[in-house]
């Protein structure tokens, strides 16, 4: 195993005992109520999704944010089927599908073939998710740019009040990134585990939750798979669990309720 991504140390095994544990053998059933994600829309804001990958099983909609300097806004939204330009978005989508098989997946492509993109396109993708009323958006990306702090903070607040929950991976390298550090966003880092339902809480910011994301077999391009490590692959586990909770018997119906639960951190799983 290679060196762990930044922020993962908070979820090391020698630190987890300091976190209060939920002493219920049926905690997962209580939290998720046997839900499958049916009726919940979840956007993957990333490099695109290969809808034909067997581990993805299709998408409900797709849009690509593309640079267009001829327009005042500097971009255009191209709706319709598209490919994953890197593999990263497909990996995240398949993780969500594995936990929430009946969820409606939506692809918002903002990254290119080098897994990079303009902050403007990232911002536009988040606005698209909010404007289209998606329940949850998985952001396995973040921006280091100080110039994007204010625009991303604004859209994160818009998402909160529009009841779109943003689940954001912390950067794999130390240092501030946005919107992962905003209070209105659920921030996630990876921790060792073979159990996809593992969820640990960290009461000390900036990263709040730890989930499986180390040496994980993930879907990739051309219908294949690869083994990868990163906070990117922990975030969709948490996004899927949030989506499942939205339709369970003990539902957290909006971001205020989901985020409010962070005041009572627990550690579930192994």
| Residue 116 included in any domain | yes
Supply the pLDDT for residue 109. 98
Q: How many CB atoms lie within 10 A of CB 143?
A: 21
CB-CB contact of 6 with 169 (8 Å): no
Per-residue pLDDT tens over the stretch 116-143: 999 999 999 999 999 999 999 999 999 9
Supply the pLDDT for residue 7. 75
Question: Cα separation of 39 and 211, whole Å?
Answer: 24
Residue (of 200, 196, 141, 203) closest to 166 by Cα position: 141
| Residue 211 included in any domain | yes
Confidence of residue 264 (pLDDT cuts 50, 70, 90): very low
223 vs 267: which has the higher pLDDT: 223
| Residue 252 included in any domain | yes
Please tell me whether residue 124 adopts helix, strand or coil conformation.
Answer: helix
Answer yes or no: is pLDDT of 265 > 50.
Answer: no
Pairing between β-strand 199-201 and β-strand 209-212 as defined by DSSP bridges: antiparallel
Supply the pLDDT for residue 173. 87
Question: Cα separation of 179 and 195, whole Å?
Answer: 27
Answer yes or no: is pLDDT of 94 > 90.
Answer: yes
Q: What is the domain-level CATH number for residue 38?
A: 3.40.50.200
Pairing between β-strand 61-67 and β-strand 75-79 as defined by DSSP bridges: antiparallel
Average pLDDT (230-258) is 77
Pairing between β-strand 186-191 and β-strand 75-79 as defined by DSSP bridges: unpaired
Q: State the sign of the Cα–Cα–Cα–Cα dihedral 212, 213, 216, 217.
A: positive
| Residue 224 included in any domain | yes
CB-CB contact of 198 with 191 (8 Å): yes
Most confident listed range (7-16, 28-37, 188-197): 188-197
| Residue 1 included in any domain | no
CB-CB contact of 220 with 91 (8 Å): yes
91: domain range?
A: 34-262
Please tell me whether residue 60 adopts helix, strand or coil conformation.
Answer: coil
Percent share of the chain, pLDDT over 90 = 68
ω into 206 cis (within 30 of 0): yes
Q: What is the dihedral of CA 24, 30, 32, 33, to 10 degrees?
A: 140
Per-residue pLDDT tens over the stretch 143-174: 999 999 999 999 999 999 999 999 999 998 88
Residue (of 259, 214, 252) closest to 9 by Cα position: 214
Per-residue pLDDT tens over the stretch 32-86: 777 899 999 999 999 999 999 999 999 999 999 999 999 999 999 999 999 999 9
250 vs 226: which has the higher pLDDT: 226
Supply the pLDDT for residue 200. 86
Question: Cα separation of 268 and 259, whole Å?
Answer: 17
| Residue 113 included in any domain | yes
Q: Domain tally for the chain?
A: 1
Answer yes or no: is pLDDT of 197 > 80.
Answer: yes
Residue (of 167, 160, 159) closest to 142 by Cα position: 167
12 vs 163: which has the higher pLDDT: 163
């Amino acid at each position: 195993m290679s060196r762990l991504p930044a922020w993962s140390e908070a979820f090391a095994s020698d630190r987890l005992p300091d976190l209060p544990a939920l002493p219920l053998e049926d905690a997962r059933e209580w939290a998720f109520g046997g839900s499958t994600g049916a009726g919940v829309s979840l956007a993957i804001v990333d490099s695109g999704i290969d809808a034909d990958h067997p581990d993805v099983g299709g998408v409900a909609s797709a849009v690509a944010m593309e640079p267009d300097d001829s327009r005042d806004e500097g971009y255009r939204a191209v709706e319709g089927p598209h490919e994953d330009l890197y593999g990263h978005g497909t990996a995240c989508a398949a993780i969500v599908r594995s936990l929430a098989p009946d969820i409606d997946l939506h692809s918002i492509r903002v990254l290119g073939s080098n897994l990079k993109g303009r902050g403007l396109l990232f911002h536009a993708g988040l606005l698209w998710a909010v404007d289209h009323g998606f329940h949850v958006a998985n952001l396995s990306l973040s921006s280091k740019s100080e110039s994007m702090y204010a625009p991303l903070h604004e859209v994160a607040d818009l998402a909160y009040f529009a009841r779109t929950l943003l689940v954001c991976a912390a950067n794999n390298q130390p240092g501030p990134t946005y919107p992962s550090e905003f209070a209105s966003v659920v921030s996630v880092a990876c921790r060792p585990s073979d159990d996809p339902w593992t969820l640990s809480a960290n009461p000390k910011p900036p990263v709040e939750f730890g989930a499986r994301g180390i040496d994980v077999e993930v879907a990739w391009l051309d219908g294949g798979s690869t083994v990868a490590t990163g906070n990117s692959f922990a975030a969709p586990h948490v996004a899927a669990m949030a989506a499942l909770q939205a339709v369970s018997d003990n539902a957290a119906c909006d971001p205020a309720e989901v985020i409010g639960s962070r005041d009572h951190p627990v550690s579930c799983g192994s």
